[in-house]
């Protein structure tokens, strides 16, 4: 289901990852109904939206398919939604595939030669495309032709095939892994940022309308603040809070109901879950705030090293609660405050998302890549 370990002995089924930015199994189907269909419906990301709008309108004016588009950013911020919107705004058909699905160049050649004029080809996780297929993509993107190799060894021949003019939309959570030649062939690169709390409130209001959930603005604010700047998490928390409101109350989601529900699901004010808090607590209470090595910290919370490093830490770092130093992990002053404790003098202070309510680090893609 997610990168976190399965049910541990003595525990019932492990709880679903409420604050993971990755889609849970079956979740993409649930998300379909919440997906914005037009640029106007797409909330926030003003920069990318405006850039795309200009790109699409000018292409339409010239009656040519727009330049190839690369969308990069962390999971759950709306890359797939935007790809669908590009096609819808152009009134074009969209073909969807993904990097891992294209193992051989022949797979890609089949997809490319089946495209109609002006179609949009969406390749998700494009950084994972196999190298021979990637090379085929170069000529398709640049010259709208591909050389399909027939046969093997010395008798192999390359048959050039035309590809209809199309627009490639690539999505990646790891733009740092894209090769230079591939990246250079995109005429437009859109970087997605984490969302502000106010933007997620707007998104939640829209989702609530679609789902038929009655929600008070103060409750949207409560949920938005715990959503880690990520629409997928906001929508997921909304669904869980709705369930709670239906079972424990009359269905109306008030701030009190949202708070009660999220405390039942163990998602705190900053969007930390049980493991995140256990890591911070161990760091502060058992090791005086650190520095402490990753392995020691993992033993202290009874988890695998990888789980702590890959599941808990990225957000703790992003939120300015934990720092990775050459000597080990360190709790920042904000972490002490978050646990309701007074930081010792001289403990690390960082400008934190926790205090500004903004997690703007995605605008520095390298940082995101490093944390992954």
Q: Which of 119, 124, 273, 276 is catalytic?
A: 124
- In the annotation, is 79 catalytic? yes
- Contact region with ligand ATP (CB under 6 A), list: 35-43, 162-170, 251-259, 323-331: 35-43
For 369, the 3-state DSSP assignment is helix
Binding mask 78-107 for ligand ATP (x = CB under 6 A): xxxx--------------------------
Residue from the set 18, 19, 39, 44 that interacts with ligand ATP by CB under 6 A: 44
Residue from the set 20, 72, 173, 352 that interacts with ligand ATP by CB under 6 A: 173
Cα dihedral 102/103/107/111 (nearest 10): 10
325 Cβ neighbours under 8 A, 6+ residues apart: 291
| 194 binding ligand ATP? (CB under 6 A) | no
Number of DSSP helices (H) and strands (E) in the chain, helices first: 17, 9
User: CA angle at residue 22 from 229 to 298, to 5 degrees?
Assistant: 90
Residue 99's binding partner among ligand ATP, Mg ion, none (Cβ under 5 to 8 angstroms by kind) is none
Residue from the set 90, 102, 203, 282 that interacts with ligand ATP by CB under 6 A: 203
95 Cβ neighbours under 8 A, 6+ residues apart: 111, 114, 115, 119, 120, 121, 122
Residue 231's binding partner among Mg ion, ligand ATP, none (Cβ under 5 to 8 angstroms by kind) is ligand ATP
Residue 43's binding partner among Mg ion, ligand ATP, none (Cβ under 5 to 8 angstroms by kind) is ligand ATP
Residue from the set 45, 80, 307, 332 that interacts with Mg ion by CB under 5 A: 80
Find how far residue 8's CA is from the centre of its chain. Answer: 27
Find how far residue 234's CA is from the centre of its chain. Answer: 12
Q: Which of 4, 119, 172, 173 is catalytic?
A: 173
Residues 60-79 that bind Mg ion (CB under 5 A): 79
Indicate if the alpha-carbon torsion angle 333, 334, 337, 338 is positive or negative. Answer: negative
Q: Are 196 and 363 in contact (CB under 8 A)?
A: no
Sites of contact with ligand ATP (CB under 6 A): 22-23, 31, 34-36, 42-45, 75-81, 171, 173, 203, 231-232, 235
- Residues with a catalytic annotation lie at 79-80, 124, 173, 232
Residues that bind Mg ion (CB under 5 A): 79-80
């Amino acid at each position: 289901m997610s990168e976190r370990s399965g049910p541990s002995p003595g525990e019932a089924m492990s709880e679903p990852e409420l604050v993971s930015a990755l889609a849970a199994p079956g979740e993409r189907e649930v998300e379909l109904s919440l997906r914005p269909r037009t640029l106007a419906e797409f909330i926030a990301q003003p920069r990318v939206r405006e850039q795309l709008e200009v790109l699409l309108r000018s292409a339409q004016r010239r009656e040519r398919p727009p330049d190839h588009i690369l969308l990069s950013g962390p999971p759950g911020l709306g890359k797939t939604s935007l790809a669908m919107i590009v096609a819808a705004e152009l009134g074009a058909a969209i073909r969807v595939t993904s990097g891992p699905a294209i193992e051989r160049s022949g797979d890609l050649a089949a997809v490319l030669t089946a495209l109609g004029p002006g179609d949009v080809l969406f390749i998700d996780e494009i950084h994972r495309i196999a190298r021979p297929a990637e090379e085929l993509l170069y000529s398709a993107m640049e010259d709208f032709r591909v050389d399909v190799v027939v046969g093997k060894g010395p008798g192999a021949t390359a048959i050039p095939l035309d590809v209809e003019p199309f627009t490639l939309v690539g999505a990646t959570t790891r733009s740092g892994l894209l090769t230079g030649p591939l990246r250079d062939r995109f005429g437009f690169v859109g970087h997605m940022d984490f969302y502000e709390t106010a933007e997620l409130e707007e998104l939640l209001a829209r989702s609530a309308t679609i789902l038929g959930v009655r929600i008070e603005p103060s409750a949207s604010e409560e949920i938005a603040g715990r959503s880690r700047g990520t629409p997928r998490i906001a929508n997921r928390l909304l669904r869980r809070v709705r369930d709670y409101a239906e079972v424990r109350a009359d269905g109306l989601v008030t701030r009190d109901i949202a708070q009660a529900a999220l405390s039942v699901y163990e998602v705190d004010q900053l969007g930390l879950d049980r493991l995140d808090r256990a890591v911070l607590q161990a760091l502060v209470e058992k090791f005086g705030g650190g520095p402490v090595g990753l392995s020691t910290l993992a033993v202290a919370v009874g988890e695998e090293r990888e789980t702590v490093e890959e599941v808990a830490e990225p957000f703790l770092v992003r939120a300015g609660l934990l720092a990775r130093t050459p000597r080990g992990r360190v709790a920042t002053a904000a972490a002490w405050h978050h646990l309701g404790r007074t930081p010792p003098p001289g403990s690390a202070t960082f400008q934190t998302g926790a205090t500004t309510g903004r997690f703007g680090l995605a605008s520095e893609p390298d940082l995101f890549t490093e944390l992954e």
